[in-house]
Amino acid sequence: MRPSGIGGQAVIEGVMMKNGSKYAVAVRKPDKEIEIKTNTLSTKKSPAANIPVVRGVLAFVDSLSLGMKTLNFSASFYEEEEEESKFEQKLNKITKGHADGILTGFTMVLAILLAVGIFVVVPMLLAGFLAAKIENQTLLAVLEGVFRLLIFIVYIGLISRVKDIQRVFMYHGAEHKTINCIENGLPLTVENVRKQSREHKRCGTSFMLTVMVISIIFFIFIRIDHTVLRFVVRLLLIPVIAGVSYEFIRLAGRTENKLVNVLSRPGMWLQALTTREPDDSMIEVAIASVEAVFDWQKFLDKENRKKNRKNSKKQAEEEQKQSEAAAAEEIAAVLERIENPKSEAGKKKKAEKSKAEVKKQGKTEKPEMEEKEQETPVQEKPAEVDLAQMFDMKLTMEPKEIRHGRAPKKDPMPSATRAVSAAKEDEDDDILKALDMYFEFQGTKSVMEISDEVPEEDTKG
């Protein structure tokens, strides 16, 4: 089934789901009720939003902003009541009540600086310590990337031990399993969601790992000796690397290409650290968030109709192939009998015809008569000769050649009347059937239509 287009994020005791410009945050409040907040993002987009790589940078910034906003909303249900500090009072007075927004922005900037320090500066310094012993710059760039990856994995491993973070990771698992349920074509119920995988190719964890791998490739080719300048270049390249990584994650979410699936596996393996199995109450929150922004029933109905049409078309094609194959084999058998009347098929037909004539006359058939008929050479009848000439093809032609319509497109009508007349006089149903099939291939008149045109004297022989 095709991707649903839904994206999400785990928040404190809840899940945020985004579908196009609409997003919803569902939070399990301390009283165990689910609070849902829906909103619509600005639909006005910059022309740059359609440019590859650039759109990835814009999407990354938007996701950071939305992520902080939804995290603050979920945290508001669990903040202890406390008196506003003098600093907050003054800040509110100066900013006319926008202190929370300013503090959120400050927190976001601080988080970015810490991330840059941990994942950019520290690996660069560690690689710099080895520069005195390792002269190969390519190897140093690879080691810097390896240090970055190790720091990232250790960081995730450490924060996953925090109890509150463990619950966030459980909601992260609920988010993935809910989206997988829809994209696997199943109704959105707790039972169906519970059976789904926690892995998903469009996950932010996979995005972060992709960023680090692509940064290694970039820094192998971009070499700067000066330490400060190298740090500045690293910072300037972060948006570009993020944009390229976004394009890969976007592609991975839209295709089942084997190579892309293989390249996506490391990121999905890493999701084992950032997701946990959710309980049913968490799954209910994720489902509530999806249903606030996405009509999953309509989506499934549409996909099922497409699947049914595809299956019906495939079944009809198979039946057509079987029908054509059967017709081709029957034509080949008739041609073989016409070409070689002494063949097993010809003898069998003559024997059956003799039996039918004897039965019609009310006589008992004798074994000696059958043996005699088999020994007597069978004379080719004009109808059989005309039929062979009318087909005008090699009698050893493969059935598939007939099936594919590669028989010579010659007008059979000059001999068709004589062939039909002779076959009817001889009461040979196989010949008539073969003629009918051949006329159908040629696009000419049917046997019945030709019979109507046979002169009276022809039908009398």
CA distances from 169 to 150, 161, 165, 213 (A): 20, 11, 6, 23
Give the whole-angstrom CA distance, residue 423 versus residue 416. Answer: 10
pLDDT in tens, 38-60: 999 876 777 777 888 888 888 88
Q: Are 337 and 387 in contact (CB under 8 A)?
A: no
CA-CA-CA-CA dihedral for 345, 347, 353, 356, to nearest 10: -110
Looking at residue 82, what is its pLDDT? 46
pLDDT in tens, 319-347: 888 877 877 777 777 666 665 655 555 55
Any residues with CB less than 8 A from the CB of 153 and at least 6 apart, and which? 270, 273
Tokens 């008929």 correspond to 373
What mean pLDDT comes out for the span 4-10?
A: 90
The 3-state secondary structure of the chain reads CCCCCEEEEEECCEEEEEECCEEEEEEECCCCCEEEEEEECCCCCCHHHHCCCHHHHHHHHHHHHHHHHHHHHHHCCCCCCCCCCHHHHHHHHHHCCCHHHHHHHHHHHHHHHHHHHHHHHHHHHHHHHCCCCCCCHHHHHHHHHHHHHHHHHHHHHHHCCCHHHHHHHHHHHHHHHHHHHHHCCCCCCHHHHHCCCCCCCCCHHHHHHHHHHHHHHHHHHCCCCCHHHHHHHHHHHHHHHHHHHHHHHHHHCCCCCHHHHHHHHHHHHHHHHHCCCCCHHHHHHHHHHHHCCCCHHHHHHHHHHHHHHHHHHHHHHHHHHHHHHHHHHHHHHHHHHHHCCCCHHHHHHHHHHHHHHHHHCCCCCCHHHHHHHHHCCCCCCHHHHHHHHHHCCCCCCCHHHHHCCCCCCCCCHHHHHHHHHHHHHCCCHHHHHHHHHHHHHHCCCCHHHHHHHCCHHHHCC
CA-CA-CA-CA dihedral for 302, 304, 306, 307, to nearest 10: 160
pLDDT at 211 over 50: yes
CA distances from 367 to 190, 239, 374 (A): 77, 95, 11
| Closest to 170 measured CA to CA, from 244, 18, 336, 281 | 281
pLDDT at 18 over 70: yes
Length of the chain: 461
Mean pLDDT in the chain?
Answer: 78
Looking at residue 19, what is its pLDDT? 92
Helix 137-159 and helix 204-221, axial crossing angle in degrees, nearest 10: 160
Other CB atoms within 10 A of residue 77 CB: 15
Confidence of residue 451 (pLDDT cuts 50, 70, 90): low
Confidence of residue 383 (pLDDT cuts 50, 70, 90): very low
The segment with the largest mean pLDDT, out of 146-155, 379-388, 406-415, is 146-155
Q: Are 332 and 399 in contact (CB under 8 A)?
A: yes
Higher per-residue pLDDT: 87 or 130? 130
CA distances from 304 to 255, 298, 361 (A): 19, 10, 62
Q: Are 7 and 59 in contact (CB under 8 A)?
A: no
The segment with the largest mean pLDDT, out of 169-173, 249-253, 336-340, is 169-173
Looking at residue 134, what is its pLDDT? 86
Other CB atoms within 10 A of residue 405 CB: 10
What mean pLDDT comes out for the span 178-183?
A: 94
Give the whole-angstrom CA distance, residue 447 versus residue 416. Answer: 9
β 22-28/34-40 pair status: antiparallel
Looking at residue 64, what is its pLDDT? 85
Cα angle 265-266-268, degrees, rounded to a multiple of 5: 65
C-alpha 321: how far from chain center: 26
Looking at residue 378, what is its pLDDT? 47
β 22-28/14-19 pair status: antiparallel
Give the whole-angstrom CA distance, residue 199 versus residue 190. Answer: 17
